[in-house]
Structure 1
Amino acid sequence: MNNQQTTTDNQSQYGYRGRGCGPFSKMFSGKGPFSGKGPWGGAFGNRKAANIEETDSVFKISLYAAGLVKTNFKISVSNDILTIAYNAPEGNKSEESKFAYQEYQPSSFERSFQLNGKVLTDSISAEYIDGVMIVTMPKNPDTNRPAQEVNVN
């Protein structure tokens, strides 16, 4: 493991630089906000940013992954873990592809999210629009109940 992938106890509990320490961090992960390869859910240099939105009926993960090919995504659920993976095609290393300067190169990645029984996994849907992979997950009504108030006597 290189120095970029090491983490302190505080970072692994609450996410990279404190991000992800809200209700979703506990709901979607067993060890901080992300699970999977590396301490933040992927290779350090290729971790794709994700937002998780909650409505009354669904959770939506918006994974920002611009410039990729929709058919190279694979989304799966196994053991109550949702995995979004991208398999980058082998680059065409022809003589014509000589860059004077290059900051972007599509590469493979994987992000995983622990669902903790909160989602109806048979009804998950996904779409890739304008560089954002949107995964919609209907809530499981049996496990998503509002908090109840307890009267103190």
Structure 2
Amino acid sequence: MSLVKFKRTPIGNLMTTDLFDNDGFFENLLWNKKLDQPALNIKETDDSFEVELAAPGFDKKDFDVTIEEGCLKITAEKSSSKEEKEDNYTRKEFNYNSFEKRLQLPDSVQEDHIKAAYKNGILSFNLFKKEETKNKKPLKVAIA
């Protein structure tokens, strides 16, 4: 079993991406701004799932990672502001970035044994599989 993106709508296949869901490409592009979501890579090995999320510009303290109802929930929030005062004007600038990603975890993942790291703009996870669900060599069955 592999990881899939979590979708709140009961309509559609969980394997589809958020961009090409039942609402249509242009509606998402213009109204929901789903293109602002960070890129996500998932690789399955014999022992674990390796997840990489591209989130440049954030600090480690900006992330909140939890496991809720079988989902790995990743949220991040960052804001900054700058103010310049001169004789006849004041200039204020601010920036706010946030996102939320959810991944439905398969039953084979050890929820209490997940490792996470943030380095060079990449938030990475190792989701270790339970011992009994790791890929094992097939057994030969004799036919009587």
Q: TM-score range by the shorter chain?
A: 0.5 to 0.7
Q: So what's the TM-score if we normalise by structure 1?
A: 0.62
Following superposition, the deviation at residue 87 of structure 1 comes to 1.5
1:79 corresponds in structure 2 to: 69
Distance 2:4 2:108 in 1: 9
Structure-2 change in CA distance of 1:106 and 1:98 (3 Å): closer
Q: Determine whether 1:127 maps to 2:117.
A: yes
Structure with the larger strand share: 2
1 or 2, which has the higher helix percentage? 1
> How does the TM-score come out when normalised to structure 2?
0.66
Determine the structure 2 residue equivalent to 1:140. 130
Superposed structure 1 runs of 4+ greater than 6 Å apart: none
1:106, 1:29 → 2: CA distance?
Answer: 25
Partner Cα distance (2:4, 2:134) in 1: 13
Aligned identity (percent) is 25
Tell me the distance in 2 between the aligned counterparts of 1:45 and 1:28.
18
Gaps spanning 5+ residues in structure 1: where? 1-22, 100-104
1:77–1:138 distance in 2 versus 1, CA, 3 Å:
same
Q: 1:32 corresponds to which residue?
A: 15
> Compared with structure 1, are the counterparts of its residues 147 and 58 closer, same or farther at alpha carbon in structure 2 (3 Å cutoff)?
same
Matches within 5 A, 1:102-117: 107-117=97-107
Q: CA deviation at 1:56?
A: 1.8
1:134 partner SS: strand
Measured after TM superposition, the shift of residue 143 of structure 1 is 3.5
The two structures, once aligned, show a CA RMSD in angstroms of: 3.4
Is 1:55 equivalent to 2:31 in the alignment? Answer: no
8 Å CA contact 1:66–1:130 kept in 2: the answer is: yes
Q: Indicate the residue corresponding to 1:94 in structure 2.
A: 83
CA distance in 2, matches of 1:148, 1:56: 14
List per-residue Cα deviations over 1:82-118 (Å, max 9, x = no partner).
01110123x314236669xxxxx55100111001212
